[in-house]
Structure 1
Amino acid sequence: MIDARRGVLYPARMPEFHRIAPAAEAADLVQWFWIPQWDIEPGRTSRQHVVSYPALNLVVEPGGVELVGPSTAASYRDLIGRGWAVGAMLKPAAVAAFTEQPSALRDESRAFDAPELHREVVEAMRDAGERGREHAAAAFSEWLLARVGTPGPAALDANRVAELLMTDATVIRDEDAAMRLSVSVRTMQRLTRRYVGLSPAAMIRRRRLQEAAQRVREHPDTDLATLAAELGYADHAHLTNDFRTVLGFTPSSYRAASGNRLPR
């Protein structure tokens, strides 16, 4: 299973945050629902940094619904005032019901017309507690099932490819995954581009970077050269370059960051 702890670069700075599993019937369509809730003091801003999973997200907020494409870099959002969001991290099998070209949404987002979904989630979130969140996730699951229907064989194959690429630390090349799945590299590439919008190599890079950040964050005494070798990087310099290119800072500066102080 994909590690739900990865992706948030500074968990201690997050507002109230919840992940909820989908209804069993929707398990082929959504990885999980994520629900942040915040109440920031007037005049203050809470900046949330994330290195997102390589997936499309459908996000409901009080102001509307948004389809968010897969990202290739770290991103942040400034939270102010009081609010919430209910997001569905879509599995590849659900993507075709929302866009024919997920690659066109890479590092982009767009408004999505789903008034019934918006109405039901907003109504559920009037209860700010656990009950409201559970009702919002249940309504979202039901809506997705009606929208997407039963995924076909190719869509389910795409789910299996994505699950392997994002969970198996021994997979460091396209060829590793293709051999494990008993498919050709070209077939695997076609599936991820059609149902995710990224190449298998890009998805592997994202998993390795997420895991590297998590290990550095949770185990600050980790030797970076050893970590690089364990995650399949060529060397320490390769790991550092990946950090700097995607996140904008080095593993050492990330490890040193604490409180509200951000790495340079």
Structure 2
Amino acid sequence: MEAPRRDTRGIVDPSGLLSRVRFRRHEPAEPLRRYIEWYWLIDWDLPAPYASHIVPHPSVNLTFQWDEDEGPPYAEVTGVALGLYTRKLTGRGRVCGVKFRPGGFRPYTPGAPASRWTGRALPAREVFPRITDDTVRAIVTGAGDRARVAALDAFLLSLPCARDPQADLAIDLVRRIRADRTVRRVGDFARAQGLSVRALQRLFAAQVGVSPKWIILRYRIHEALEQAGTRTGVDWAALAADLGYADQAHLVRDFTATVGVPPTAYAAEATTPR
């Protein structure tokens, strides 16, 4: 099984979350890896409620959840969340999640553009009618990670999934945006890929669910969040320039609008010993 990874990009206050839950990631079966990035598993047993906050990636997630004090297990599809995603954790529970690659959900739902799911959370059976109560129970009540991952693999391998060159292209383009911090303008990026801006926008709307400009901005915020949470004495003006902002004020504005507090306040809280 894949060892837990340490990448916490997108998690607001990762130390607070990881001190309260058991969080790990696993690779899916090899045939699934083209369109599924990883499985993420969380278990908790809390004496007091805790609200986790995430600045989401441009990915669709399929989750199998069980809040043991609230009712039976259930499954949910969550499209790309445009704002901060908040999940209240209480009592005992667990989540077995499937993170699709940006652009990787469309091959499983070819009848709808990815934008149909953007900003929405809905019962998974509305998207995948073959999900049954037994499917959900087999995944969330599995005795250990190996059993849960095997149940996720079995379900996902049973789903129709047609190879989609457009999805492959979108996945590759999002990967380039994420990896290359010099990508700052949609027009420049489109030309470098041999596409018009309009063609790139249509591709992302259909395959990813959000615009290329939104993705560029979201990865900027992820980087700023990571810097604010792991470093002391961040030079915000230099970071703003490095991320392609016109000035520090623009970075502060976007960070505050997304996370809810200015980056300096977040950094002071995140780097203060507890």
Hey, what's the Cα distance between the residues in 1 that align with 2:248 and 2:153?
43
Structure 1 residue 121: Cα displacement? 0.8
Question: Once superposed, what is the RMSD of the aligned Cα atoms?
Answer: 2.1
**Identity over aligned pairs, percent:** 30
Hey, what's the Cα distance between the residues in 1 that align with 2:141 and 2:93?
14
> Quick check: 2:94–2:140 contact (8 Å CA) kept in 1?
no
Structure 1 residue 260: Cα displacement? 10
* Selected match of 2:8 from 5, 15, 23: 5
After superposition, the Cα gap between the structure-2 partners of 1:259 and 1:230, relative to the gap in structure 1 and judged at 3 Å, is closer
Hey, what's the Cα distance between the residues in 2 that align with 1:156 and 1:119?
32
Structure 1 residue 208: Cα displacement? 0.5
Alignment of 1:89-100 (within 5 A): 89-91=99-101, 92-98=103-109, 100=112
Match for 1:18: what amino acid?
A: R
Hey, what's the Cα distance between the residues in 1 that align with 2:251 and 2:158?
43
* Selected match of 2:140 from 113, 122, 142: 122
> Quick check: 2:51–2:88 contact (8 Å CA) kept in 1?
yes
> Quick check: 1:56–1:95 contact (8 Å CA) kept in 2?
no
- Provide the aligned length of Structure 1 versus Structure 2: 251
After superposition, the Cα gap between the structure-2 partners of 1:144 and 1:205, relative to the gap in structure 1 and judged at 3 Å, is same
Gaps of 5+ in 2: 1-5, 67-72, 126-130
In the alignment, what sits opposite 2:266?
254
Match for 2:245: what amino acid?
A: Y
Matched, 1:73 2:104: no
Structure 1 residue 259: Cα displacement? 8.7
Gaps of 5+ in 1: none
* Selected match of 1:237 from 249, 256, 274: 249
Deviation per CA, 1:207-257, whole angstroms, max 9, x where unpaired?
110111101111121110011011111110000000121122111111111
Hey, what's the Cα distance between the residues in 1 that align with 2:147 and 2:31?
16
After superposition, the Cα gap between the structure-2 partners of 1:140 and 1:120, relative to the gap in structure 1 and judged at 3 Å, is same
Hey, what's the Cα distance between the residues in 1 that align with 2:158 and 2:169?
21
> Quick check: 1:30–1:88 contact (8 Å CA) kept in 2?
yes
In the alignment, what sits opposite 1:20?
26
Structure 1 residue 31: Cα displacement? 1.0
Runs (4 or more) in structure 1 with deviation over 6 Å come to none
Structure 1 residue 50: Cα displacement? 0.9
In the alignment, what sits opposite 2:213?
201
